[in-house]
Structure 1
Amino acid sequence: MATSTPAADGRTGRTTDPALRAPVARPGSRLLHRLVWLRLGLLLSAPLAWMLLIYVVALAALLITSLWSVDSLSSEIDRTWTLDNFRTLVENQVYRDVTVRTIGVALAVTVIDVAIALPIAFYMAKVASPRLRRMLVVAVLTPLWASYLVKVFAWRVVLSEGGPAEWSGLGSPGYGLTAVVITQAYIWLPYVILPVFAALERVPDSLLEAAGDLGANSGMVLRSVVLPLLVPGILAGGIFAFSLTMGDYITVNIVGGANQMLGNLVFVNAGAANNLPLAAAIAMIPIVVMVVLLAAIRRTGALENL
């Protein structure tokens, strides 16, 4: 059976069949191929627009709301800008005490988590076998799969009167700030272990062996070689633990007894007290604290290695 072959131009040798010709690039495609920055901009435009909408715009709305006030007679929001809410936060002793308490709890949780995370991450990265390392990573990630409320209520049971903490003979601190620190240190611990573990994995074993060959003992190796390289990972984990504790309000409601933190005040003023402007002003406190903290860390140059 005869088959037809595509006709060819006798002068150039090129096929004249339109179906077999190479596709011609459109002007838009050529432009995108030429301008890499335009390609990248179009690729990132959607996520950047979404981030701008839900983060920057939300922060701007929060700041504007904090400048409003509530009419004491009608309970209606007065949209005239004023600094009365911030003046209340500065002059009222209750808000100052709650702010100091919140920062203190956040610092305690951060220090405890870093102290626990360092030996665990070091063992996972430098001592454990590859199989055991994988098992430990799964063990660290497993609590993240459980519900936040389930974990908090589990600690409420553990720390309750006559609960497992008392059965073990260790005794229970009861419900209060100590219970809040213990519970939040447990909840945020994986967020500290993982960055420190990642930082330790980047430390080459040959560097530790070279330090030992030069006469450094184990303590000197840890202080002079390992810890300086771990600063970015420690900072990343510490920022996670500190910021998440600053904004939390559920844990203190469940195991904190009668104590209050900034998150509780935001919740109460936005809900039962029906004072949204004051709640927005209180919510600005953790934001300002985190901005100051990040600015201080940035001045040390540690953020450049994150």
Structure 2
Amino acid sequence: MTAGVPQPRDTPARRISVFLSQHARVRLGLLLTAPLFWLGLVYVVALAALLITAFWTVDSFTGQVRTEFTLDNIITVVTGSLYQTVTLRTVGVALLVTVIDIAIALPVAFFMAKVAGPRLQRILVIAVLMPLWASYLVKAYAWRSVLAEGGVVDWMTAPFGGSSPGYGLPAVVITLSYLWLPYVILPIYAGLERVPDSLLEASSDLGAKTWRTMGSVVMPMLWPSIIAASIFSFSLSLGDYITVNIVGGANQLLGNLVYTNVGAANNLPLASAIALIPVAIMIVYLTAARRSGALENL
């Protein structure tokens, strides 16, 4: 002990600090306990409750949920023509939104990553993120005004004999494509940034044209990012119901059926059974993406 130098006091806090500094695994475990607990509570327990509720039923006289095991809701959802039609419509809308967003995102992300200078690149990233700062409802109602009869689209296309699509599935696809576009651009942009410029230069030196370079050099390296981007747009479109209520007219998606049965119909077990459809679709989608090997390099 050095004379005249004050020694730290042996307090409980100091002993805990010393113990944690000497045991990295305990420190890591304590660090991950809270988020893993929250993840398990919010996702795993919620999905388990959803699955269990789907096997309950509602008393037709009292309207109360009866916790008796039954397959009636599952059979109704699987065999009912209404639910089959709405499921196909929902998957079709989600796929179309995903294809449109990827088609728009690819050239935008490529320009941001490989053409724009550092300053313009930062400006474009901010421009892509800016729509996320606005309220979801504000953007949906803005598109309702744009697509309405006599709206901006009507005014712009009238001189050419065109007209606005109005309210319906085309309006739903347009609005959802706009809403989820930033979530598609950013993963593809991040993937393009990881593509070395030297590979593009080498492809050009060997005589490859632009499309050959994109197909043979860029796309194989960019495929994991495209898969990740498609997961965002596809899953978000699959569960959306607010946009459909605002611009979809009389059309319904799976989310609308869940909302109707939870609220007006007060049939929580049937709503849970319907909600299992997008969950099952996403499990199949993610399994296919994983088997393709596209997710291994993310």
TM-score (norm 2): 0.94
Residue identity in the other structure for 2:220? P
**Among candidates 155, 163, 166, match of residue 174 of structure 1:** 166
1:263 partnered with 2:255: yes
**Among candidates 57, 80, 105, match of residue 93 of structure 2:** 105
1:15 maps to what in 2? Answer: 2
Larger radius of gyration: 1
**Among candidates 110, 115, 120, match of residue 108 of structure 2:** 120
Instruction: Supply the distance in 2 between the matched residues of 1:142 and 1:121 (Cα, whole angstroms).
Output: 16
Decide which moves more: 209-218 or 29-38.
29-38
**Among candidates 265, 268, 279, match of residue 276 of structure 1:** 268
1:49 partnered with 2:37: yes
Post-superposition shift, 1:133?
1.1
**Among candidates 204, 212, 222, match of residue 204 of structure 2:** 212
**CA deviations over 1:4-43 (Å, ceiling 9, x no partner):** xxxxxxxxxx4345x6236669654444233322110111
2:180 maps to what in 1? Answer: 188
**Among candidates 65, 76, 81, match of residue 69 of structure 2:** 81
**Among candidates 210, 219, 222, match of residue 230 of structure 1:** 222
1:63 maps to what in 2? Answer: 51
**Mapping of residues 21-32 of structure 1, within 5 Å:** 21=7, 28-32=16-20
Decide which moves more: 69-78 or 105-114.
69-78
Instruction: Supply the distance in 2 between the matched residues of 1:20 and 1:270 (Cα, whole angstroms).
Output: 67
Moved over 3 A (4+): 21-31
Post-superposition shift, 1:219?
1.4
Instruction: Supply the distance in 2 between the matched residues of 1:28 and 1:141 (Cα, whole angstroms).
Output: 43
Instruction: Supply the distance in 1 between the matched residues of 2:10 and 2:151 (Cα, whole angstroms).
Output: 75
Listed as ranges, the gaps of 5+ residues in structure 2 are none
Post-superposition shift, 1:260?
0.6
Instruction: Supply the distance in 1 between the matched residues of 2:30 and 2:80 (Cα, whole angstroms).
Output: 49
**CA deviations over 1:247-267 (Å, ceiling 9, x no partner):** 100111111111010000000
**CA deviations over 1:226-272 (Å, ceiling 9, x no partner):** 11111111111110000000010011111111101000000000000
**Among candidates 270, 287, 295, match of residue 295 of structure 1:** 287
Percent identity between the two aligned chains = 63
1:250 maps to what in 2? Answer: 242
Aligned-partner SS, 1:301: coil
Residue identity in the other structure for 1:97? T
**Among candidates 153, 169, 175, match of residue 141 of structure 2:** 153
Instruction: Supply the distance in 1 between the matched residues of 2:54 and 2:170 (Cα, whole angstroms).
Output: 32
Listed as ranges, the gaps of 5+ residues in structure 1 are 1-13
Instruction: Supply the distance in 1 between the matched residues of 2:175 and 2:2 (Cα, whole angstroms).
Output: 75
Instruction: Supply the distance in 2 between the matched residues of 1:85 and 1:107 (Cα, whole angstroms).
Output: 27
Aligned-partner SS, 1:95: helix
Aligned-partner SS, 2:295: helix
Q: CA RMSD in A?
A: 1.5
Instruction: Supply the distance in 2 between the matched residues of 1:126 and 1:28 (Cα, whole angstroms).
Output: 50
Residue identity in the other structure for 1:96? Q
TM-score (norm 1): 0.92
Decide which moves more: 210-219 or 115-124.
210-219
Instruction: Supply the distance in 2 between the matched residues of 1:122 and 1:16 (Cα, whole angstroms).
Output: 66
Q: Count how many residue pairs are aligned between Structure 1 and Structure 2.
A: 292
Instruction: Supply the distance in 2 between the matched residues of 1:99 and 1:165 (Cα, whole angstroms).
Output: 30
